[in-house]
Structure 1
Amino acid sequence: MAKIVKGSNKFYIGDNEENPKAQITFEKEDDNLINIDHTGVPEEMGGQGIGSKLVQTVVDYARENDLKVTATCPFAKKVMEKSDDYQDVYQQHD
């Protein structure tokens, strides 16, 4: 799988943060909560688990930084809600 790189409020795959091949973006809601607002994986990269790996990367980042994660992105929300492994950091969005 391609390398996932940390950008500005995002993790992405590709050589350029401004034009990534795949990405997951988030925004800070408050001091200890981030919201995943978009996950983008092009069709030609679909079916490889890249979207789920991007969610996992944000969860790892949150754990390392003592943050909670919520998701307004439907894909990320679905991934987080169905995995018991994410419940320590997942917080329902209001």
Structure 2
Amino acid sequence: MGHTIKDQKKLLTRVRRIKGQSEALERALEAGSECAAILQQIAAIRGAVNGLMAEVLEGHLRDHLGAEDRTAEQRHEDLEQVMGVLRSYLK
């Protein structure tokens, strides 16, 4: 069983929180809120997305790269996949 299935409820809770934060940001922009409030909301969303990414990444690394039943070739393929995702995420 994959880690995103085992942790599905917790991950979906995080995603729903991000969705709510995004909707609050949209409302703040539509209402012409102060720049500081908008910046704070953007920072909160970024922090929430970073936390979600860290949690899913940790689970992936533990389940795929840390699994003892994986061959060296499978680990290398998983590592390359993770590195590609991290490169695009950190751009």
Query: Structures share a fold, TM > 0.5?
Result: no
Give the TM-score, by structure 2 length.
0.36
Q: Which has the higher contact order (CA 8 A, sep 6+)?
A: 2
Larger Rg over CA atoms: 2
Give the TM-score, by structure 1 length.
0.35
Higher strand share: 1
